[in-house]
């Protein structure tokens, strides 16, 4: 009987990753937070961190370990990007949630507002395990998890986001800040993708350390670079490393850029100023230097920190992940090229 239960559990499990390096320890931390209150209490835990840091993988692994003991469960994947790609994204997610939890298609949801009422009425007596993955806007959260009162006693809700303000607005019980990979984890994950083994070839050891240092513990970057460099010669590796210092890798920047594109214009401007000139400065000095032309840098910096684009250390100094900073510099480079192109066009038109 126990073997049959394990077989059913395996069949229902979500795919995590081909090489789940570092997953077990992080999942253990999240589960500990989910179990930190009495079992009958409803618990909401947010998993927060920058794009590409592995939030979804940890959420999937947590779901696989915990949801098996819940009769009512649902994993809603990639909420923000799915909603942006279609007009009825939120309504579709509400319908999916209702189907997963209540096992019915007879109740029709026409609008987000009607869905809110239906979900609140139908879920409030059910003990639910729910994962909302990639929630980056308040309206998405309000449509799928308006409050903890939507769910029955003993429910467990996990929300992954790159915006801490989303979690603050819901008054979640705990926020788990995703940890970057340490050097050992980074080298192992990179090696799996670059060599198909858990450790690098000895002759590539120095080059691997350079790549790992550049990636800054970001799993997405380690995987992308590992796959790109697989099977290439040492000379090709060296060429790629030189290129990275000039032109950041498009596949990674496109992922990071989505957070930047969601900022207000004044926030974008302040982010770009920090990325190019102000890294390592005291937060108060940065605010003072940017406090002109009607801008509100203190609020903007708080927003950038919530969105995992900047960090504030214990000495109140502003920092930024290496790849986020590279993204900022590439954006400025592209803007300069666009302005130059416009200038050339204007000259040719006169």
Between 127-141, 164-178, 187-201, 288-302, the lowest mean confidence (pLDDT) is in 288-302
Which residues are registered as beta bridge partners of 158? 45, 131
C-alpha–C-alpha distance, residues 240 and 234, integer Å = 10
pLDDT for 11 beyond 90: no
The tens digit of pLDDT for each residue in 55-91 reads 999 999 999 999 999 999 999 999 998 888 765 889 9
Residue 13 binned pLDDT confidence (cut-offs 50, 70, 90): confident
Report d(CA 308, CA 49) in Å as an integer: 6
If 0-12 CB within 10 Å is exposed, 13-18 middle and 19+ buried, where does residue 191 land?
buried
Residue 142 CA to residue 145 CA, distance in Å, equals 5
Q: What is the structure's pLDDT at 169?
A: 93
- Residue 295's pLDDT is 74
Q: Check whether 6 has a pLDDT greater than 60.
A: no
Q: What is the pLDDT of residue 343?
A: 55
Distance CA 116, CA 142 (A): 8
8-state DSSP, 40: T
CA–CA distance from 323 to each of 54, 132, 247, 270 (Å)?
15, 26, 11, 17
Measured CA to CA in angstroms, residue 299 lies from 209, 266, 276, 281, 295 at distances of 38, 11, 19, 17, 9
Cβ–Cβ < 8 Å for 39, 155: no
Contact 318, 312 (CB under 8 A): yes
- Nearest alpha-carbon partner for 122 in 103, 92, 93, 102: 102
Calpha distance 136→139 (Å, rounded):
9
Distances (CA, A) of 324 to 93, 190, 258, 267: 31, 19, 11, 15
- How far CA 295 is from CA of 50, 310, 320, in Å, comes to 25, 18, 21
Number of neighbouring beta carbons within 10 Å of residue 89: 18
CATH architecture of 254-349: Orthogonal Bundle (1.10)
Q: Look up residue 10 and give its two tokens.
A: 């395996």
Are 214 and 322 in contact by the 8 Å Cβ rule? The answer is yes
Three-state secondary structure call for residue 250: helix
Distance of CA 134 to the CA centre of its chain: 7
CB 310, CB 320: distance < 8 Å = yes
Please tell me the predicted confidence (pLDDT) of residue 30.
97
Tokens, residue 287: 């605010």
pLDDT tens digits along 140-156? 999 999 999 999 999 99
Q: What is the mean pLDDT of the chain?
A: 90
What's the pTM?
0.90
Could you tell me which CATH number the domain at 2-177 has? 3.40.50.300
Q: At residue 4, does pLDDT exceed 50?
A: no
Burial classification of residue 137, based on how many CB atoms lie within 10 Å of its CB (0-12 exposed, 13-18 middle, 19 or more buried): middle
Q: Which residues contact 177 (CB under 8 A, 6 or more apart)?
A: 48, 49
What is the predicted pLDDT for the residue at 341? 53
Rg (alpha carbons) of the chain, rounded to whole number: 23
**Hey, what are 95's tokens?**
């319908």
Of residues 148 and 349, the one with the higher pLDDT is: 148
**Terminal Cα distance for the chain, rounded:** 83
């Amino acid at each position: 009987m126990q073997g049959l239960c394990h077989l059913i559990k395996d069949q229902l499990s979500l795919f995590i990753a081909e090489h789940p390096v570092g997953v077990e320890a992080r999942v253990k931390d999240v589960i500990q937070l989910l179990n930190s209150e009495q079992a009958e209490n409803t618990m909401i835990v947010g998993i927060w961190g920058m794009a590409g840091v592995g939030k979804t993988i940890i959420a999937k692994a947590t779901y696989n370990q915990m949801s098996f003991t819940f009769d009512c469960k649902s994993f809603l994947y990639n909420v923000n990007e799915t909603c942006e790609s279609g007009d009825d994204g939120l309504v579709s997610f509400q319908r999916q949630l209702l189907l997963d939890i209540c096992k019915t298609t007879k109740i029709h949801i026409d609008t987000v507002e009607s869905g809110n009422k239906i979900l609140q009425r139908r879920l409030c007596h059910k003990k639910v395990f729910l994962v909302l993955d990639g929630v980056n806007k308040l309206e998405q959260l309000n449509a799928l998890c308006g409050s903890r009162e939507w769910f029955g006693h003993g429910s467990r809700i996990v929300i992954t986001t790159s915006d801490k303000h989303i979690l603050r607005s819901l008054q979640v019980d705990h926020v788990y800040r995703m940890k970057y990979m340490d050097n050992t984890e980074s080298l192992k994950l990179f090696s799996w993708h670059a060599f198909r083994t858990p450790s690098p070839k000895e002759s590539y050891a120095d080059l691997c350390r350079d790549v790992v240092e550049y990636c800054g513990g970001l799993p997405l970057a380690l995987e992308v670079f590992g796959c790109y460099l697989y099977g290439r010669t040492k000379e090709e590796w060296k060429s790629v490393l030189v290129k990275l210092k000039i032109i950041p890798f498009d596949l990674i920047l496109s992922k990071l850029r989505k957070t930047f594109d969601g900022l207000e214009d004044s926030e974008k401007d302040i982010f770009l100023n920090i990325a190019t000139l102000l890294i390592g400065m005291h937060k108060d000095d940065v605010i003072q230097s940017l406090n002109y032309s009607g801008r509100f840098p203190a609020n903007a910096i708080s927003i950038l920190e919530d969105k995992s684009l900047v960090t504030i250390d214990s000495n109140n100094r502003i920092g930024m992940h290496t790849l986020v900073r590279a993204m900022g510099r590439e954006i400025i480079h592209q803007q300069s090229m666009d302005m130059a192109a416009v200038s050339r066009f204007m000259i040719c038109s006169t």
